[in-house]
Amino acid sequence: MKVKFILPALTEAGSPFWRPIKYSLFPPIGLATLAAYLDPADEAEIVDQHVEALRLDDEPDLVAIEVYITNAHRAFAVADHYRQRGVFVILGGIHVSALPEEAAQHADAIFIGPAEESFPRFLADFRKGRAERRYVSRTRTLVGIPPVRRDLIKRERYLVPNSIVVTRGCPHHCDFCYKDAFFAGGISSYTQTLDDALSEIERLPGRHLYFLDDHLLGNPGFARDLFLEMAGMGRIFQGAATVDSILRGDLIERAADAGLRSIFVGFETLNPSNLAASNKTHNLNRDYRAAIDRLHDLGVMINGSFVFGLDGDTGDVFKRTVDWSIETGITTATFHIATPYPGTRFHQSMRDAGRLLTDDWDLYDTRHVTFSPAGMSQEELANGYQYAYREFYRWGAILRSSLCHGSLKHQLKHFFYTSGWKKFEPLWNLIIQARKLRAMTPLLEAILSRVTTRKESRATAPSAVGLAPKQRGRSETP
């Protein structure tokens, strides 16, 4: 049997904001995981349209397409094309789980939720010629899943081919997060066995890893054991975690000892009322500045995530957020316009209030305004988003932010990592076109190498951002 796995390019691939390096970071691990369930005699390929052309003149026996919200139209067009050629097409992914009836119009079978259990069940049915129209995950587990088919990944096309996932989901339930739609009907946070996770790590060459888990520290017991075993491996890695998990116990120190050098943190908003209204309660009454200082003292760089346009936001939110991000020494920032993804409580509340502006999924990329904000105009929100990126990544801002760190090495590390990520787009494009991304891995590892910082006393004025909750009074910093 010949099987073709496809990740269609996101809509922004055709926009002036397209950044090839951003979409040349990680291979489609989810598709490579499903490919592991095929029989040895089956022929398989993975095509990631972000990094290679998609041929449509072939006739495989089965086409499997992963659907995100902003590649949905393209995914459905590819699916329709293959079905017209008589090819059996299956669709799965976040968008399919959120809007199954929409996806079902373009597929012979759809998959709701994680597919580690349902995909092998489908394969057995398909081989017998009696595949069902819909497969829903019944058992949520990563125990006993086969090793990822990394032989199908074109490593030379990615800056971070050593991407890995050892947990699924997140224990929290934020209103604007897609996760609850994807994991509806079962547990939404679970892990591999420790032995399987370590075996997958050992399969990866070189030193650098990137954990794509939504919340690497989400299961503290598993994370603690994982970091303990990794401590002697000589790896350096990046991942994601919450403010709460960074502040609690000594887990983040164990992660740094194991090789953590950069972390994605969902600060999302500096306004406690936004946190409460979005059910992001694990960020409430947490000292953001203490979490940042703790990471910096460990030599861990921070990619902070922020959302604009929640109901507690007014026109000054953009400058306040950018200024705070620069002053606290966050290495990189990811800004988003709040986006009501289908299947989320945020989408339901905006729909019920009549505030949705469009159901054109191409615009649901966190760069466009898709609902009516409460505290500002649509134009203010769109312009403020652009302002935040422009101001945070100015040369002067990068320099000022890098000087927040206590050692010269950390300052240089910050400066080169931030500027390299946003200021050298033409160079990245040349490297991608020459297919030399793998040659950049040693440079990435060098920048991510550990720095030691001296703990400094940090005097804070009464009006300063980042005071402990009991000191803050009316400050909007959670």
| Whether the Cβ atoms of residue 263 and residue 308 lie closer than 8 Å to each other | no
- Residues 137, 196, 240, 229: what is their CA dihedral angle, to the nearest 10 degrees? 160
Classify 112 as helix, strand or coil.
Answer: strand
Q: Is the per-residue pLDDT at 474 higher than 70?
A: no
Render pLDDT for 283-316 as a digit per residue (tens, 0 to 9). Answer: 998 999 999 999 999 999 999 999 999 999 999 9
Counting Cβ atoms within 10 Å, is residue 195 exposed (0-12), middle (13-18) or buried (19+)?
exposed
Q: What is the pLDDT of residue 464?
A: 31
Confidence band, pLDDT 50/70/90 cuts, at residue 478: very low
Indicate the helix (H) or strand (E) that contains 410: helix 408-422
Confidence (pLDDT) at 17: 63
Summarised one tens digit per residue, pLDDT across range 244-272 is 999 999 999 999 999 999 999 999 999 99
Selected residue with higher pLDDT from 456 and 50: 50
Structure tokens at 339: 């986006």
360: its two tokens: 């054109």
pLDDT attached to residue 434: 87
pLDDT confidence of residue 352 = 97
**Cα–Cα distance for residue pair 182/203, rounded to 1 Å:** 29
Res. 4: pLDDT tops 90:
yes
pLDDT-derived band of residue 233, with 50, 70 and 90 as boundaries? very high
Half-sphere exposure of 375 (CA within 13 A, CB side): 14
Give the pLDDT confidence score for residue 15 in this predicted structure: 64
Confidence of residue 376 (pLDDT cuts 50, 70, 90): very high
Q: What is the pLDDT of residues 399-450, one digit of tens each?
A: 999 999 988 999 999 999 999 988 888 888 889 888 888 889 888 888 888 8
Q: Are the C-beta atoms of 64 and 90 separated by less than 8 Å? A: yes
φ, ψ at 211 (rounded to 5°): -80, 115
Torsion sign over Cα 22, 24, 29, 32: positive
Report the percentage of the chain scoring pLDDT > 70: 93
**Where do the domains of the chain lie, and which CATH numbers do they carry?**
2-136 (3.40.50.280), 159-472 (3.20.20.70)
Q: Is the pLDDT of residue 224 over 90?
A: yes
pLDDT at residue 93 in the model? 96
Share of the chain above pLDDT 90, in %: 80
Rounded average pLDDT over 204-212? 95
| Amino acid sitting at position 75 | A
Residue whose structure tokens are 């030599």:
299
**pLDDT for residue 458 is more than 50:** no
Q: In this structure, what is the dihedral angle of CA atoms 469, 472, 473, 475, given to the nearest 10 degrees?
A: -110
What is the reported pTM? Answer: 0.90
pLDDT: which is higher, 233 or 464 = 233
Host H or E run for residue 107? none
For 35-81, the DSSP string reads HTTS-TT-EEEEEETTTS----S---SEEEEE--GGGHHHHHHHHHH
Query: Is the model's pLDDT at 456 over the cut of 90?
Result: no
The average pLDDT across 175-203 equals 92
First-to-last CA distance in the chain?
Answer: 55
Q: Quick check: 410 and 299 in contact, CB under 8 A?
A: yes
pLDDT band at 459 (very low <50, low <70, confident <90, very high): very low
